[in-house]
Structure 1
Amino acid sequence: MLQLMTATPERWASQVKKARQAGVLENIEDVPYEAVRDLVVNRKLKMAASTSQHAAIELDVFEDLLEVIAQRAWCWLHADEASGGFITSDHPVCLFSNVPPKGLQALATE
């Protein structure tokens, strides 16, 4: 995310502006874009979030995601045994084989 947020000076300025409008950066001075970008590119900046913070971020997007999923025109396809279990799609969501796994893969799914 930091790579994307600092991809251009304009994008970074937009991110800082949004954070300031949200009240997140109160009493914090701006850091020059070049300094922030250097930290990100050279992996000198580490971010940490608690499990609760991470869950809150995910829950914020869940409602929007659910709305988009509900608007899709779903179609269920099941491969015929004679097809070799092959189905193709321009927009797959999830594909499962109708052939039971063997070996270590079978143990991992049990």
Structure 2
Amino acid sequence: MIRPQSLLTLFAILLPLIFAAGPWTPVNPNDPDVKRIGEFAVSENNKQTGTKLVFQHVVSGDSTPRGAGLWYQIIIAASSENYLVSVWDRPFLPLELHAFVKVKN
């Protein structure tokens, strides 16, 4: 049986690792994983809002390690407009869309 004190100690050690973020680094807009993130963002936004945007390409962006995954903030082109999107990509978990905001071209 695990003692409560041991559980609290383990939690205190792991919590900062789960939410830790490293430095932001530029992404390659042509990277298939980055494209996958952009396509997901458009698809998820369409589901949530009922819009029918069409993904075109990734314009630019950055990523940072966060916990066991990567946090992306990228600008995508969709239906002739640019959007800033934030997506959290973690292994073995579904992608999470956290922001989808229209930006000036």
TM-score (norm 1): 0.24
User: Per residue, is there more helix in 1 or in 2?
Assistant: 1
Q: Which has the higher contact order (CA 8 A, sep 6+)?
A: 2
Q: Higher Cα Rg: structure 1 or 2?
A: 1
User: Per residue, is there more strand in 1 or in 2?
Assistant: 2
